[in-house]
């Protein structure tokens, strides 16, 4: 990825959200809308059984069910924006990253994509394991979508000064300038299927962790996503409590 200058996109260093109530409101609205959507889907599925011989009806009813599923996916994303924050626990950075890789390993094998892991020996840190693993899995899925059979995804973790840096790099199709300008915007996607919320949510979650999410890419030569957040050691947490 060094024959051209990589295009970079970033979530700027975390700042306090000037409108924190908007996330609470979105979660409430999402919850209220989700229930009638699920009811509508159940009714359509019952109708499918009743009119199973009518191919035209089945065709359109299946389209309706798919649209309901897409809407539900968006609402689920809204509900998960802040719900999944967990209390920091003492764990190995390598173990956390490997856990995320393990979750998508089966898909990587089926798609004939090589997974490479490179972790520096770092003492255990206080990490919000669930949130970080969710972000990593999302980034890994994006890399899987970008790679062709025989491609490689590399997950690495290092510490620079008091920052933890986790990188997910792939040698996939890469992104052009327009895509890089928009990848962190809600609902932006270049995929035929997908809500376009994944990277936007990952950025918001990293901001909650007082960290950042950045990206670099060269079209045709892959992409690198970097998670950066403060390293908190057990003794430092105790000092903060005093």
Placement of tokens 């959507």 in the chain: 37
pLDDT recorded at residue 2: 42
pLDDT recorded at residue 240: 47
pLDDT value at 190 more than 80: no
> How would residue 25 be classed by pLDDT, with cut points 50, 70 and 90?
low
Return the higher-pLDDT residue of 204 and 108: 108
pLDDT recorded at residue 55: 85
Return the higher-pLDDT residue of 178 and 226: 226
> How would residue 16 be classed by pLDDT, with cut points 50, 70 and 90?
very low
Query: Can you state the angle between helices 129-146 and 93-110, rounded to 10 degrees?
Result: 30
Residue 157 dihedral angles phi and psi, to the nearest 5°: -145, 130
* Average pLDDT for the chain: 80
pLDDT recorded at residue 235: 66
Q: Contact 176/118 with Cβ under 8 angstroms?
A: no
Return the higher-pLDDT residue of 110 and 30: 110
pLDDT value at 212 more than 90: yes
Residue 227 dihedral angles phi and psi, to the nearest 5°: -100, 130
Cβ–Cβ contacts within 10 Å for residue 170, how many? Answer: 27
Return the higher-pLDDT residue of 26 and 57: 57
- For the residues 14-43, what does the mean pLDDT come to? 63
pLDDT recorded at residue 13: 39
> How would residue 72 be classed by pLDDT, with cut points 50, 70 and 90?
confident
> How would residue 12 be classed by pLDDT, with cut points 50, 70 and 90?
very low
* Residue closest to 204 by CA, chosen among 75, 23, 8, 71: 23
> How would residue 19 be classed by pLDDT, with cut points 50, 70 and 90?
very low
Write the pLDDT tens digit of every residue in 75-120: 766 666 555 556 788 889 899 999 999 988 989 999 999 999 999 8
Q: Contact 131/166 with Cβ under 8 angstroms?
A: no
Q: Contact 156/106 with Cβ under 8 angstroms?
A: no
> How would residue 24 be classed by pLDDT, with cut points 50, 70 and 90?
low
């Amino acid at each position: 990825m060094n024959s051209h200058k990589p295009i970079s996109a970033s979530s700027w260093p975390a700042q306090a959200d000037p409108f924190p109530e908007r996330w609470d409101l979105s979660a409430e609205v999402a919850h209220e809308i989700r229930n009638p959507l699920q009811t509508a889907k159940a009714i359509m599925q019952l109708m499918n059984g009743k009119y199973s011989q009518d191919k035209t009806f089945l065709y359109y009813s299946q389209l309706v069910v798919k649209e309901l599923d897409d809407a539900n996916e968006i609402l689920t994303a809204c509900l998960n924006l802040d719900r999944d924050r967990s209390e920091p626990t003492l764990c190995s950075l390598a173990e956390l990253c490997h856990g995320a890789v393990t979750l998508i390993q089966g898909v990587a094998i089926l798609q004939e994509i090589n997974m490479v892991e490179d972790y520096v020996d770092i003492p255990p840190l206080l990490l919000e394991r669930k949130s970080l693993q969710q972000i990593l899995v999302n980034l890994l899925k994006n890399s899987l979508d970008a790679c062709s059979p025989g491609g490689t995804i590399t997950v690495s973790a290092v510490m620079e000064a008091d920052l933890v840096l986790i990188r997910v790099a792939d040698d996939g199709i890469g992104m052009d300038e327009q895509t890089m300008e928009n990848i962190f915007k809600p609902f932006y996607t270049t995929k035929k299927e997908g809500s376009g919320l994944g990277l936007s949510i990952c950025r918001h979650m990293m901001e909650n962790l007082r960290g950042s999410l950045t990206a670099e890419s060269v079209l045709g030569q892959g992409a690198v996503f970097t998670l950066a957040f403060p390293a908190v050691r057990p003794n430092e947490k105790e000092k903060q409590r005093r």
